[in-house]
Amino acid sequence: MTRAVVALGANLGDREATLLAAARDLAAAEGVELVAVSPLLDTVAVRVEGEDPDAPRYLNGVALAETTLSPHALLDLLQAVEARHGRVRGARWGDRTLDIDLILYGGRVVKDERLTVPHPRAHERDFVLSPWLALDPSAVLMGHGRVEDLLRRIGDTTRPLGGAESSGAPPSTGRAEGGEPA
């Protein structure tokens, strides 16, 4: 099995319910064993121009999974889960009922018209790095370095769900008994 890092986010509808349902869908999928899901973090929407404080805020989290699926089969699964939860592929960088990105797939590099792994912008996104660090304090983003160092470099603007601004310290691990999502 191959370890995959998957980022989940939503800024439309019942964000928390959607993200938890998506995690359950991933856990139930054939060829995927969900190892852990991070706590959900509240984050400002990011557009191509930068942060957009006027857009609906996102909830974001990261899931660690073991999979027997190929990178492209896993991408197909992630996109099917997005569609099941109302994702309509439209404007890039737009608002979403659900966004799931494959951040890392073992030690593999994939670059084609459908998929780039490691994710090309993960190293500059606190909404990916902060929840990932919470699950795996020794995490390394291939080609960029330790997740902890990357997050320190860019800063952490994420907030715990319903909480105050992040202190920069990782939130609780979100690990649940038996590998179930937290």
**Structural domain of 31:** 2-165
Residue 107 included in any domain: yes
Residue 158 included in any domain: yes
Which residue among the candidates 15, 25, 42, 87 is catalytic per the annotation? 87
Residue 129 included in any domain: yes
Which residue among the candidates 25, 42, 101, 156 is catalytic per the annotation? 101
Residue 182 included in any domain: no
CATH code (residue 119) = 3.30.70.560
pLDDT, mean of residues 171-179: 36
Which residue among the candidates 42, 96, 126, 156 is catalytic per the annotation? 96
Q: Does 99 qualify as catalytic in the annotation?
A: yes
What is each CA distance from 21 to 9, 16, 18, 122, 124, in whole angstroms?
A: 12, 9, 5, 23, 27
Q: Does 96 qualify as catalytic in the annotation?
A: yes
pLDDT exceeds cutoff 50 at 175 = no
Query: Global pTM?
Result: 0.84
Convert the pLDDT of each residue in 39-91 to its tens digit. Answer: 999 998 887 777 888 888 999 999 999 999 999 999 999 999 999 998 676 66
Residue 108 included in any domain: yes
Residue 25 included in any domain: yes
Q: Does 156 qualify as catalytic in the annotation?
A: no
Q: Does 101 qualify as catalytic in the annotation?
A: yes
| Number of domains forming the structure of the chain | 1
